[in-house]
Structure 1
Amino acid sequence: MTNAHAHTTSALPIAEQVVLVTGGARGLGAAVVKAFFQEGAALVINYRHSADAAHELAEAIRARGGQALAVEADVTDFRAVVAMFDAARAEFDRPVSTVINNALVDFSFNGDERDGADEISYAALEAQYRGTVGGALNVIQGAMSGFREIGSGRVVNVGTNLFQNPVVPYHDYTAAKAALLSLTRTFAKDLGPSGVRVNMVSGGLLRTTDASSATPAEVFDAIAAGTPLGHVTTPEEFASAITFFASPASRAVTGQNLVVDNGLVMD
């Protein structure tokens, strides 16, 4: 593959892409799926436990003239990830061109129930590393044969603003997302010659997803008051930023971390 070819294929319009969203059945993942549907992409909706929600979302997209496939796979299981990419190719007759690493190992954003620094175990950190970093690693590696076939690829990893602004010290979650940022940048460097761009979009608390449903209203209000734009980011606002990194408009952008939180953190 020549550099010129990589440049051309990196400008693939979203409407011609197959986009895989991990953890795509509910919450932020579902918002991302819907955002890409609005842009005309074919969707692979990955889920682990949320079968009903995933299939209902896929059916709703197909009912509106879109293309969508719900696929069960635990992203920490590489064989399951490979089977998911095979199922996507069989359904759409072309490789996945963009992956959104959104899947989250079981976690509830409730600061009142977090483990403090003097009590958290390494096992808690390890569980988040396995899901966040290990899951992203499996999905990126599973995508690479298709990326090489089409001469380009787009990876968007979902991060957090908590490692810049640890207002609530979710030690395990934040450490795993910080590691994912490092992986984002080292993979961007390593995979760039293959025409693959790797970026991260990081937010704070979103109003509202299943993961943030345990968050007290006063916490949302305090965050909103601390932002220049005066409100808490919605899943739809966050999803819009993710689509940018799959679009031709971002074809010269890789290794970056875009913070989308209404200006709470400026980095």
Structure 2
Amino acid sequence: MTSPTPAARPRTTPSLDDQLVLVTGGARGLGAAISEAFLGAGAKVVVNYHRSREAAEQLAARFEDRALPVCADVRDPEQVRDLVAQAESHFGTPITTLVNNALMDFSFNGDARPKADELTAEQLAAQFVGSVQAPVDLIQAVLPSMREARGGRVVNIGTNLFQYPVVPYHDYTAAKAALLSITRTFADDLGPDGINVNMVSGGLLRTTDASAATPDAVFDAIAAGTPLRRVTTPAELADTVLFLASPWARGVTGQNLIVDGGLVKG
């Protein structure tokens, strides 16, 4: 006779203005838009950065006591643990939402990408460390606090390119596809702890540092293929991240919400 499945623990979903949010790569581009969206909603935000100290400090200075810039290379597990400890010690409260946004050393430049006959193991490994291992390390670092709080939110930033490879960025796309798998398996594993794990996948965003190398003709072609006839902005994608961290998304987990103006269906 099999044992009954244990009941899920009661979950708590604080309102956005009661949350402590960690945004990796939160000082520039999409990360800055996400950080600003949470800060605008009243949350406390840890703005993680690697090389963008000035941008992180300028963003934090606009929000006085609710934003903390912290330098850490999220590819280093020890720095990840220190990042979480510093954030929770500074604010005196556990991290309630983790946004895995950091994108390491990548530019959306179709002319410079490795072609199928040029792709190397080193290029694949570099993207897997930044887009798969780093998010796993970060989730593991915040898990004790989220479990103690009986709930939490993880939002991973993905891409629509593995469904619509308008430009075949092989290494980046493969790593993000793996992150979607991690999103869904972790959602199942952590659901009984009251932790929701989701992904938000944008298309090409207009404009971030990573997409600055993209020619206008590519932006225009993508815009023409969407029902909205425009390219999604970082602020629009940030809105969806806020939704997934909010009490209104308490029943949403293991999902990949595509925010690309309707370019990809389903």
CA distance in 1, matches of 2:231, 2:146: 35
**Other-structure match for 1:60:** 62
**Other-structure match for 2:108:** 109
- Listed one character per residue, the Cα deviations across residues 206-236 of structure 1 (whole Å, up to 9, x for unaligned) are 0000000001111111111110001000000
| 1:118 to partner: Cα distance | 1.0
Question: Runs ≥4 in structure 1, deviation > 4 angstroms?
Answer: none
CA distance in 1, matches of 2:236, 2:213: 21
**Other-structure match for 1:136:** 135
Contact (CA 8 Å) 2:183, 2:198: kept in 1 or not? yes
CA distance in 2, matches of 1:57, 1:89: 19
**Other-structure match for 1:14:** 16
| 1:78 to partner: Cα distance | 1.2
Secondary structure class of the residue paired with 2:63: helix
| 1:28 to partner: Cα distance | 0.2
CA distance in 1, matches of 2:22, 2:28: 14
**Other-structure match for 1:186:** 185
| 1:2 to partner: Cα distance | 7.1
- Listed one character per residue, the Cα deviations across residues 19-67 of structure 1 (whole Å, up to 9, x for unaligned) are 00000010000000010011110000000111111111111121xxx50
1:231 aligns with 2:233: no
CA distance in 1, matches of 2:83, 2:117: 40
User: TM-score with structure 2 length normalisation?
Assistant: 0.96
Secondary structure class of the residue paired with 2:62: helix
User: TM-score with structure 1 length normalisation?
Assistant: 0.96
Code of the aligned partner of 2:21: V
Unaligned runs of 5+ in 2: 1-5
Code of the aligned partner of 1:34: E
**Other-structure match for 1:5:** 10
Q: 1:45 aligns with which of 44, 47, 51?
A: 47
Secondary structure class of the residue paired with 1:46: strand
Secondary structure class of the residue paired with 2:135: helix
Code of the aligned partner of 1:104: L
CA distance in 2, matches of 1:218, 1:4: 51
CA distance in 2, matches of 1:180, 1:70: 26
CA RMSD of aligned residues (A): 1.2
1:253 aligns with 2:252: yes
**Other-structure match for 2:3:** none
**Other-structure match for 2:211:** 212
Code of the aligned partner of 2:130: G
Q: Identify, as 1 or 2, the structure richer in helix.
A: 1
| 1:90 to partner: Cα distance | 1.5
> Kindly tell me: are residues 2 and 14 of structure 1, through their superposed partners in 2, closer, same or farther at Cα, counting changes over 3 Å?
farther
| 1:3 to partner: Cα distance | 3.6
CA distance in 1, matches of 2:183, 2:16: 21
Contact (CA 8 Å) 2:96, 2:153: kept in 1 or not? yes
Unaligned runs of 5+ in 1: none
CA distance in 1, matches of 2:214, 2:75: 27
